[in-house]
């Protein structure tokens, strides 16, 4: 949202100053002081000023604040271009579904780190079999989430950027080579190296699916999440590997809020339902008194809740 007064203020404010507002540990007042009194107009200039020990001269700062700001900037720079899987998963899924429904592809699958579901991601990768390459490029250029100016096509690889930041890489191939390329681009280097060195697996032959590729060297199918080159090959017993953890493997649930603070259900309702689900334990983590906005518990209410927990435990 926007309004004229805000637009006018933004026009008068350097872009770098706005970016400084996202630095942990300094609010608008401190950013204004840095800008007006030291002439700092970007995070780069601010880091330089920290290294020169210039912030300690300002009222309201000091050595501790300067050190915190320096650490926050360095941490942000070190993590530039890295995203939590859970943050980019909805965007990736949306584009993937749109591609599948577009009619321009014969086959498509996520691959690489995204298919392995690593916690930290730097890019989204897909293996695709286009009906016609030009149709795929036209579709990408027309997609609202993709920056059109970012599209680069070289040999069999297409690179684009989502929202000016997140790279999306598409490896194009023929239908008969789809499984082989998906296999080669999913596992990390260590997983593929161990297959090549220890099991003498070659990746050049065509295959109908990845199970067939592993079977060539008498190995079971490895789920993408296991292809990290760590201990997955030691997990094999009787021709099988351990299954991934799924919901039915969970024994209990922690960090729950009840009606004592801002939860929607009572202690007994939650405990009874968890028992019905087959869980062995339920952990209660209602807000404390500092969270007054969420009906945080004062000491006497915590004691009351403990008493109710004892009663419910004895009952069920």
Per-residue pLDDT tens digits for 46-76: 999 999 999 998 888 989 999 999 999 998 8
**Residue 121 pLDDT > 90, yes or no?**
yes
Q: Are strands 157-162 and 146-154 parallel, antiparallel or unpaired?
A: antiparallel
In percent, how much of the chain has pLDDT > 90? 79
SS3 253: strand
**Weakest mean pLDDT among 102-111, 122-131, 245-254, 295-304:** 245-254
Strands 166-172 and 157-162 turn out to be: antiparallel
Q: Provide the pLDDT confidence category of residue 9 given band limits of 50, 70 and 90.
A: confident
Higher pLDDT, 73 or 126: 126
For the segment 174-186, the average pLDDT, to the nearest whole number, is: 97
Angle ∠(94,97,103) on CA atoms, nearest 5? 135
pLDDT reading at 241 higher than 90: no
Cα–Cα nearest to 55, from 161, 180, 68: 68
Q: What angle do CA 155, 211, 172 make, to 5 degrees?
A: 15
What DSSP assignment string belongs to 295-312? Answer: TPBPHHHHHHHHHHHHHH
Rounded to the nearest 10°, the torsion over CA 53, 58, 61, 66 is -20
- Exposure of 205 in the CB half-sphere (CA atoms within 13 A): 12
Rounded CA-CA distance 216/225 in Å is: 21
Q: Which of 121, 129, 114 has the alpha carbon at shortest distance from 179? A: 129
Nearest residue to 47 via CA among 13, 71, 82, 17? 71
pTM: 0.73
Under a CB-based contact definition with an 8 Å cutoff, are residues 183 and 191 in contact?
no
């Amino acid at each position: 949202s926007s309004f004229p007064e805000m637009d006018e203020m933004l026009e008068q404010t350097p872009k770098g100053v706005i970016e400084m507002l996202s630095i942990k540990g300094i609010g608008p007042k401190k950013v204004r002081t840095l800008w007006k009194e030291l002439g700092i107009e970007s995070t780069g200039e601010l880091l330089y000023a920290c290294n020169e020990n210039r912030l300690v001269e300002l009222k309201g700062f000091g050595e501790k604040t300067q050190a915190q700001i320096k650490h926050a900037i360095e941490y942000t720079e070190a993590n530039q271009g890295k995203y939590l899987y859970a943050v980019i998963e909805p965007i990736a899924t949306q584009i993937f579904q749109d591609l599948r429904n577009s009619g321009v592809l014969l086959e498509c699958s996520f691959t690489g780190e995204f298919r392995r579901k690593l916690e930290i991601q730097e890019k989204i990768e897909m293996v695709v079999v286009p009906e016609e390459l030009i149709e795929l490029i036209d579709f990408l250029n027309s997609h609202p989430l993709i920056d059109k100016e970012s599209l680069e096509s070289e040999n069999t690889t297409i690179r684009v950027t989502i929202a000016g930041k997140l790279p999306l890489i598409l490896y194009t191939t023929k239908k008969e080579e789809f499984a082989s390329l998906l296999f080669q681009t999913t596992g990390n280097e260590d997983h593929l190296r161990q297959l090549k060195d220890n099991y003498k697996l070659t990746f050049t032959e065509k295959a109908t699916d990845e199970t067939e590729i592993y079977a060539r060297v008498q190995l079971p199918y490895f789920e993408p999440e296991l292809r990290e080159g760590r201990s997955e090959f030691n997990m094999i017993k009787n021709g099988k590997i351990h299954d991934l953890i799924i919901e039915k493997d969970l024994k209990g649930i922690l960090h729950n809020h009840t009606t004592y603070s801002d939860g929607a259900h009572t202690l007994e309702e939650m405990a009874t339902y968890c028992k019905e689900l087959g869980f062995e334990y339920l952990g209660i983590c209602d807000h404390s008194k500092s969270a007054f906005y969420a009906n945080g518990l004062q000491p006497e209410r915590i004691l009351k809740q403990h008493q109710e927990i004892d009663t419910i435990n004895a009952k069920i």
